[in-house]
Chains A and B, each alone.
Chain A
Amino acid sequence: AQSVTQPDIHITVSEGASLELRCNYSYGATPYLFWYVQSPGQGLQLLLKYFSGDTLVQGIKGFEAEFKRSQSSFNLRKPSVHWSDAAEYFCAVGAYKRGSQGNLIFGKGTKLSVKP
């Protein structure tokens, strides 16, 4: 069965520093991979997604993620963090189920705090 692991529950970085949030997945075939961001008390917003092709994916708000099949990872990166990036980040893997449209499996999230 597919699963997603986000090893870091909470990360704190200084404003202007670089950021990498880790995501590992378990899935037998080539997965569909997503990163979503959630501000406190809000819904989720899609940052980026990977289906196929170039393994480095650019997203909104200056984020990017790299798909590494050999490591079963899809880590999210940003070169310089802004205070407004403080939020919770969710990695998700999608897979087709026979007879349905597929489903997304979400990780438990990584909460990002930004120090001034």
Chain B
Amino acid sequence: DGGITQSPKYLFRKEGQNVTLSCEQNLNHDAMYWYRQDPGQGLRLIYYSQIVNDFQKGDIAEGYSVSREKKESFPLTVTSAQKNPTAFYLCASSMDGQVLNSPLHFGNGTRLTVT
């Protein structure tokens, strides 16, 4: 079955450490996205990528970094510069970069806890 795989489901880190969240898709989608979700909040866009080797900052990119070396992979690194990293992180993809016309497909998320 095609879909988006995020791993691990739960991740624990000490403050000051960088951590990388994995996102892999086998939908052959061009565009991929990272969202952050906090309790009682909507989703906020961190980074997105419309094509390989290109990505753009979203609304809350500070303290995060991404890469898009392969079409199917879009890892997110939460750096020590991110002041409040504990959150639920969702990866998504869409067929093309026209997010308004091609629906988002979401992974099942990674819950990151930093202590």
Instruction: Kindly state whether residue B66 has any CB partner on chain A within 8 Å.
Output: no
Kindly specify which of A12-20, A44-52, A65-73, A77-85 makes contact with the partner chain: A44-52
A60 to B40, CA, bound (A): 25
Max chain A C-beta neighbours (<10 A), residue from B9, B44, B103: B103
What is the size category of the interface that chain A forms with chain B? 20 to 34
Q: Which residue of A lies closest to B102 (CB)?
A: A101
Q: Mark contacts of A27-50 with chain B using CB atoms, 8 A cut-off: 1 yes-contact digit, 0 otherwise.
A: 000001010100001111110010
Q: Which residues of B contact A44 (CB under 8 A)?
A: 43, 90, 92, 104, 106
Q: Which residues of B contact A45 (CB under 8 A)?
A: 106
Are B99 and A90 in contact (CB-based, < 8 A)?
Answer: no
Question: Which B residues form the contact surface with A (CB < 8 A)?
Answer: 4, 9, 31, 40-45, 50, 56, 58-59, 90, 92, 96-101, 103-104, 106-109, 111
Task: List 17 A-B pairs, Cβ < 8 Å.
Answer: A36-B104, A41-B108, A43-B4, A43-B92, A43-B106, A43-B109, A44-B43, A44-B92, A44-B104, A44-B106, A51-B101, A92-B42, A100-B56, A101-B97, A103-B45, A103-B59, A106-B42
Question: Which A residues form the contact surface with B (CB < 8 A)?
Answer: 4, 9, 32, 34, 36, 41-46, 49, 51, 90, 92, 94-96, 100-109
